[in-house]
Protein backbone atom coordinates (compact mmCIF):
# COMPACT_ATOMS: atom_id res chain seq x y z
CA UNK A 1 0.00 0.00 0.00
CA UNK A 2 1.21 3.50 -0.82
CA UNK A 3 2.75 5.28 2.22
CA UNK A 4 0.81 8.63 1.81
CA UNK A 5 -2.51 6.76 1.51
CA UNK A 6 -1.67 4.67 4.61
CA UNK A 7 -0.79 7.84 6.56
CA UNK A 8 -4.10 9.48 5.57
CA UNK A 9 -6.05 6.34 6.45
CA UNK A 10 -4.45 6.21 9.91
CA UNK A 11 -4.68 9.94 10.68
CA UNK A 12 -8.19 10.60 9.32
CA UNK A 13 -10.03 8.92 12.25
CA UNK A 14 -7.74 10.74 14.72
CA UNK A 15 -8.54 14.14 13.15
CA UNK A 16 -12.26 13.33 13.12
CA UNK A 17 -12.20 12.48 16.84
CA UNK A 18 -10.17 15.60 17.61
CA UNK A 19 -12.48 17.97 15.74
CA UNK A 20 -15.62 16.41 17.23
CA UNK A 21 -14.20 16.94 20.71
CA UNK A 22 -13.41 20.57 19.94
CA UNK A 23 -16.91 21.36 18.72
CA UNK A 24 -18.70 23.75 21.03
CA UNK A 25 -21.83 22.54 22.71
CA UNK A 26 -24.80 24.77 22.00
CA UNK A 27 -26.60 26.01 25.10
CA UNK A 28 -30.20 24.85 25.47
CA UNK A 29 -32.96 27.13 24.26
CA UNK A 30 -34.75 28.96 27.08
CA UNK A 31 -38.53 29.31 26.73
CA UNK A 32 -40.58 32.13 28.23
CA UNK A 33 -44.28 32.97 28.63
CA UNK A 34 -46.45 36.04 28.78
CA UNK A 35 -48.08 36.05 32.22
CA UNK A 36 -51.84 35.57 32.25
CA UNK A 37 -52.57 37.14 35.63
CA UNK A 38 -53.61 40.75 35.63
CA UNK A 39 -54.46 42.87 38.65
CA UNK A 40 -56.04 46.28 39.02
CA UNK A 41 -58.71 45.82 36.35
CA UNK A 42 -61.65 48.17 36.50
CA UNK A 43 -64.88 46.19 36.72
CA UNK A 44 -67.78 47.18 34.51
CA UNK A 45 -71.04 48.03 36.31
CA UNK A 46 -72.89 46.02 33.69
CA UNK A 47 -71.79 44.33 30.44
CA UNK A 48 -71.29 46.73 27.54
CA UNK A 49 -71.17 43.97 24.91
CA UNK A 50 -73.40 40.92 24.54
CA UNK A 51 -70.72 38.93 22.70
CA UNK A 52 -67.19 39.79 21.64
CA UNK A 53 -64.67 37.77 19.60
CA UNK A 54 -60.96 38.57 20.02
CA UNK A 55 -58.23 38.05 17.41
CA UNK A 56 -54.53 38.88 17.78
CA UNK A 57 -51.83 38.70 15.11
CA UNK A 58 -48.48 40.19 14.18
CA UNK A 59 -45.77 38.52 16.31
CA UNK A 60 -43.60 35.42 16.03
CA UNK A 61 -41.88 33.23 18.65
CA UNK A 62 -38.56 35.11 18.77
CA UNK A 63 -37.79 37.47 21.66
CA UNK A 64 -36.44 40.64 20.08
CA UNK A 65 -34.28 43.54 21.16
CA UNK A 66 -33.86 46.79 19.26
CA UNK A 67 -31.01 49.28 19.38
CA UNK A 68 -29.71 52.13 17.24
CA UNK A 69 -26.57 50.31 16.11
CA UNK A 70 -27.95 46.96 14.98
CA UNK A 71 -31.68 47.53 14.53
CA UNK A 72 -34.00 44.65 15.44
CA UNK A 73 -32.46 41.29 16.42
CA UNK A 74 -33.53 38.18 18.30
CA UNK A 75 -31.98 37.07 21.59
CA UNK A 76 -30.05 33.91 20.71
CA UNK A 77 -31.33 30.71 22.37
CA UNK A 78 -34.41 32.46 23.84
CA UNK A 79 -37.92 31.94 22.50
CA UNK A 80 -41.54 32.38 23.52
CA UNK A 81 -42.92 29.00 24.56
CA UNK A 82 -45.87 29.50 22.21
CA UNK A 83 -47.01 32.20 19.84
CA UNK A 84 -47.18 35.61 21.58
CA UNK A 85 -50.34 36.18 19.51
CA UNK A 86 -51.98 33.24 21.27
CA UNK A 87 -50.73 34.17 24.75
CA UNK A 88 -51.72 37.82 24.42
CA UNK A 89 -55.14 36.84 23.01
CA UNK A 90 -55.74 34.58 26.03
CA UNK A 91 -54.65 37.35 28.38
CA UNK A 92 -57.02 39.87 26.76
CA UNK A 93 -59.93 37.39 26.78
CA UNK A 94 -59.25 36.63 30.45
CA UNK A 95 -59.13 40.36 31.30
CA UNK A 96 -62.39 41.13 29.46
CA UNK A 97 -64.12 38.23 31.22
CA UNK A 98 -62.83 39.31 34.65
CA UNK A 99 -63.87 42.91 34.04
CA UNK A 100 -67.45 41.87 33.22
CA UNK A 101 -67.29 44.03 30.09
CA UNK A 102 -68.87 41.37 27.86
CA UNK A 103 -71.40 38.63 28.59
CA UNK A 104 -69.63 36.21 26.22
CA UNK A 105 -66.01 36.42 25.04
CA UNK A 106 -65.01 34.13 22.17
CA UNK A 107 -61.67 33.14 20.68
CA UNK A 108 -61.10 33.02 16.90
CA UNK A 109 -61.34 29.21 17.01
CA UNK A 110 -64.95 29.42 18.18
CA UNK A 111 -67.62 28.64 15.58
CA UNK A 112 -70.04 30.94 17.38
CA UNK A 113 -70.88 34.32 15.94
CA UNK A 114 -70.30 37.42 18.00
CA UNK A 115 -71.95 40.82 18.02
CA UNK A 116 -68.52 42.52 17.95
CA UNK A 117 -65.05 41.60 16.73
CA UNK A 118 -61.95 43.00 18.43
CA UNK A 119 -58.98 42.83 16.07
CA UNK A 120 -55.55 43.39 17.61
CA UNK A 121 -52.38 43.85 15.56
CA UNK A 122 -49.06 43.67 17.45
CA UNK A 123 -46.86 46.42 16.03
CA UNK A 124 -43.93 45.92 18.42
CA UNK A 125 -43.15 43.38 21.14
CA UNK A 126 -39.49 43.80 22.07
CA UNK A 127 -36.89 45.28 24.37
CA UNK A 128 -35.53 48.65 23.27
CA UNK A 129 -31.94 49.12 24.42
CA UNK A 130 -31.10 52.64 25.53
CA UNK A 131 -27.75 54.43 25.14
CA UNK A 132 -27.01 53.95 28.86
CA UNK A 133 -27.26 50.13 28.33
CA UNK A 134 -30.56 49.82 30.16
CA UNK A 135 -33.64 48.48 28.43
CA UNK A 136 -37.33 49.13 28.05
CA UNK A 137 -39.94 46.47 27.37
CA UNK A 138 -42.26 47.76 24.66
CA UNK A 139 -45.67 46.60 23.48
CA UNK A 140 -47.40 48.58 20.76
CA UNK A 141 -50.77 47.38 19.50
CA UNK A 142 -53.39 48.73 17.16
CA UNK A 143 -56.97 47.78 17.95
CA UNK A 144 -60.14 47.89 15.88
CA UNK A 145 -63.62 47.15 17.18
CA UNK A 146 -66.04 46.03 14.47
CA UNK A 147 -69.77 45.51 14.64
CA UNK A 148 -70.08 42.21 12.78
CA UNK A 149 -73.63 42.43 11.45
CA UNK A 150 -72.81 45.32 9.13
CA UNK A 151 -68.99 44.90 9.09
CA UNK A 152 -68.73 48.45 10.42
CA UNK A 153 -65.73 49.79 12.35
CA UNK A 154 -67.05 51.19 15.62
CA UNK A 155 -63.72 52.57 16.78
CA UNK A 156 -60.01 52.07 16.35
CA UNK A 157 -56.91 53.19 18.17
CA UNK A 158 -53.33 52.48 19.09
CA UNK A 159 -51.73 51.79 22.45
CA UNK A 160 -48.04 52.04 23.35
CA UNK A 161 -46.99 50.62 26.69
CA UNK A 162 -43.51 50.33 28.18
CA UNK A 163 -41.72 49.15 31.29
CA UNK A 164 -38.08 49.80 32.29
CA UNK A 165 -35.39 47.14 32.71
CA UNK A 166 -32.06 47.80 34.43
CA UNK A 167 -30.20 45.10 32.51
CA UNK A 168 -30.23 43.82 28.97
CA UNK A 169 -30.77 40.06 28.79
CA UNK A 170 -33.64 37.78 27.77
CA UNK A 171 -35.00 37.35 31.34
CA UNK A 172 -35.22 41.08 32.07
CA UNK A 173 -36.60 41.65 28.56
CA UNK A 174 -39.41 39.16 29.22
CA UNK A 175 -40.15 40.69 32.66
CA UNK A 176 -40.34 44.19 31.15
CA UNK A 177 -42.49 42.99 28.24
CA UNK A 178 -44.81 41.24 30.71
CA UNK A 179 -45.19 44.48 32.69
CA UNK A 180 -45.89 46.37 29.46
CA UNK A 181 -48.48 43.74 28.46
CA UNK A 182 -50.24 44.20 31.83
CA UNK A 183 -50.46 47.95 31.28
CA UNK A 184 -51.67 47.55 27.69
CA UNK A 185 -54.31 44.99 28.67
CA UNK A 186 -55.66 47.33 31.37
CA UNK A 187 -55.70 50.27 28.94
CA UNK A 188 -57.41 48.13 26.30
CA UNK A 189 -60.21 47.16 28.73
CA UNK A 190 -60.66 50.84 29.64
CA UNK A 191 -60.69 51.76 25.93
CA UNK A 192 -63.46 49.19 25.34
CA UNK A 193 -65.47 50.68 28.23
CA UNK A 194 -65.42 54.20 26.76
- Average pLDDT estimate for 141-158: 96
Q: Report the sign of the C-alpha dihedral through residues 104, 108, 111, 113, in that order.
A: positive
- Using pLDDT thresholds of 50, 70 and 90, give the confidence band for residue 152: very high
**Superfamily of chain region 30-193:** ABC-type transport auxiliary lipoprotein component (3.40.50.10610)
- Using pLDDT thresholds of 50, 70 and 90, give the confidence band for residue 40: confident
pLDDT tens digits for 164-179? 999 999 999 999 999 9
DSSP E strands, 9-48: 30-32
Assess contact for 117 and 146: CB atoms under 8 A: yes
In the predicted structure, residue 9 carries a pLDDT above the cut 90: no
Amino acid sequence: MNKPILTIAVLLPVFCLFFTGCAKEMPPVQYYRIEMDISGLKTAIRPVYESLKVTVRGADNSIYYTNEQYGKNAFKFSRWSQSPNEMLKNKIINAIQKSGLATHVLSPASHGTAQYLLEIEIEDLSMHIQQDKTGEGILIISASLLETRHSRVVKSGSLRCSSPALEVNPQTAVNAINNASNTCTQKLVEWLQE
